[in-house]
Structure 1
């Protein structure tokens, strides 16, 4: 009998205080970003039944502290190779790395049996990217930390079975909130962070026929509300609201698995 083709994803936390996402195809496990200290990573990994020695690589989206601050230390302590664009590496925020690989020209690459396509995104960093993971026909996208989406991004996301989608802020809450004006302008700008409205517009432009899993990520604690996000995404997709998942800053989320042959998603225990 042919084995199931699957991808699974989990998070140690998502938000302005730190980000780290795990993706696995059962043979290869990678961490996307590490914005936590090694101590905090080791505290959180047991929640998803993972040991640091099981991580085959760290992928860097960009050099902002909430995504890169723990990359170098974790890489050095456990000899984990790092993949990043030249711009992210030139920031110097990883320090000396035992092994690193430069993502050139946003060209696809593989780590073992896991195929990865870097996505060029508009964000106020040196050479930011996000990632699309492919296992056979299964496709899982991580799309956070971008100020807006482009036609090329929409094209690359079609089809997609699972997406981690930035829903950073509600525009009204942002403009009426406590941030100084300069920060509000930065967050709302084309190189800042995607709003709930923009996330909805992206889903409306995508072909969502194959979509099984949507996880809202990088929610602002000051300028957004998980219930609001869940309701908006569920209405857009015509899904039950409980089918929409939210990545939390403190707890992240447990493993969610995409299985192509059964066309279903479930959370592992």
Structure 2
């Protein structure tokens, strides 16, 4: 059974990722409006009625901005750690919340979702591994560095949403104030292109068919630059740059996928 994945939006203006099979799906984060989430799913011929739950990685606004309306309107349970909920300024009475516990599997239909801790400047941040019948998809964004939890889960993935937030030179020479540059490149900040590439080249399993480069900075990165950087080391993995303005195509990920050379058909519109 294949898993279907897409980035509905990826960037500091909002993050939302869809993972599902033919019957059930989940969203990781809800950082764009409910209306935009619905519109983008509709354009992709994906039904919001198949979405069974939302999993929240952390409380920053670009990951929860659209959550309350989306969860209420579609009666979706929200899996969120108590610390994240407490610091999100979202009233738990607005929608159904389920306490999220690291390393404790959540089963939704044939989907299994495991959250695991990561390093980021939030109260209790987690990333996710979503699996179904042997197919595994990872969501690795908002990460200061690739800790052992990130590495061990990345090594299992048939496809991954992988943060490539900034180019070191663009950040260093850009207009951001010194304190913000230090925050971004700290161990509780974001992954640079080179840090993400090191994770990819050192720990990518041979069967990883797709990597979706995610959460690119508008000011401190360049979609074409990071695409070329990864594509030069892809070894058959399809490289996709997730946009901060629109959804990606839907990718069908299976455990027995035949890998082909990457095709440069992304629209560099981040």
Verify same fold: TM over 0.5. yes
Alpha-carbon distance between aligned partners in 1 of 2:197 and 2:102, rounded to the nearest angstrom: 29
Q: Which runs of 4+ in 1 moved over 3 A?
A: 261-266
Within the candidate set 196, 207, 214, 1:210 is matched to: 207
Are 1:22 and 1:30, in contact at CA under 8 Å, matched by a contact in 2? yes
Within the candidate set 73, 77, 84, 2:69 is matched to: 73
Alpha-carbon distance between aligned partners in 2 of 1:263 and 1:114, rounded to the nearest angstrom: 23
The verdict on how the C-alpha distance between 1:239 and 1:227 changes in structure 2, with shifts beyond 3 A counting, is farther
Matches within 5 A, 1:223-238: 223-238=220-235
Specify the SS of the correspondent of 1:139: strand
Cα deviation for residue 53 of structure 1 reads: 2.9
Q: Cα deviations across residues 10-48 of structure 1 (Å, max 9, x unaligned)?
A: 121100001111110222111111111223323322222
1:258 matched residue in structure 2: 253
Unaligned runs of 5+ in 1: none
Cα deviation for residue 183 of structure 1 reads: 1.1
Within the candidate set 154, 158, 163, 1:166 is matched to: 163
Alpha-carbon distance between aligned partners in 2 of 1:182 and 1:188, rounded to the nearest angstrom: 10
Within the candidate set 111, 115, 119, 2:116 is matched to: 119
1:108 matched residue in structure 2: 105
Q: Cα deviations across residues 30-75 of structure 1 (Å, max 9, x unaligned)?
A: 1111111223323322222234333211110100000011111211
Alpha-carbon distance between aligned partners in 2 of 1:207 and 1:196, rounded to the nearest angstrom: 15
Please, what TM-score do these two structures have when normalized by structure 1?
0.91
Are 1:10 and 1:48, in contact at CA under 8 Å, matched by a contact in 2? no
Within the candidate set 38, 42, 59, 1:42 is matched to: 38
Alpha-carbon distance between aligned partners in 2 of 1:30 and 1:213, rounded to the nearest angstrom: 19
**Aligned residue pairs, count:** 261
Are 1:68 and 1:94, in contact at CA under 8 Å, matched by a contact in 2? no
1:179 matched residue in structure 2: 176
Alpha-carbon distance between aligned partners in 1 of 2:6 and 2:119, rounded to the nearest angstrom: 25
Q: Cα deviations across residues 136-157 of structure 1 (Å, max 9, x unaligned)?
A: 2111111011111112321222
Alpha-carbon distance between aligned partners in 1 of 2:259 and 2:52, rounded to the nearest angstrom: 26
1:137 matched residue in structure 2: 134
Q: Cα deviations across residues 74-105 of structure 1 (Å, max 9, x unaligned)?
A: 11122111111122111243323432111123
Alpha-carbon distance between aligned partners in 1 of 2:65 and 2:82, rounded to the nearest angstrom: 17
2:84 matched residue in structure 1: 88
Matches within 5 A, 1:19-34: 19-34=15-30
1:60 aligns with 2:18: no
2:195 matched residue in structure 1: 198
Q: Cα deviations across residues 119-166 of structure 1 (Å, max 9, x unaligned)?
A: 211000011111111112111111011111112321222232101100
Unaligned runs of 5+ in 2: 263-270
Alpha-carbon distance between aligned partners in 1 of 2:234 and 2:111, rounded to the nearest angstrom: 29
Please, what TM-score do these two structures have when normalized by structure 2?
0.91
CA-based RMSD: 1.9
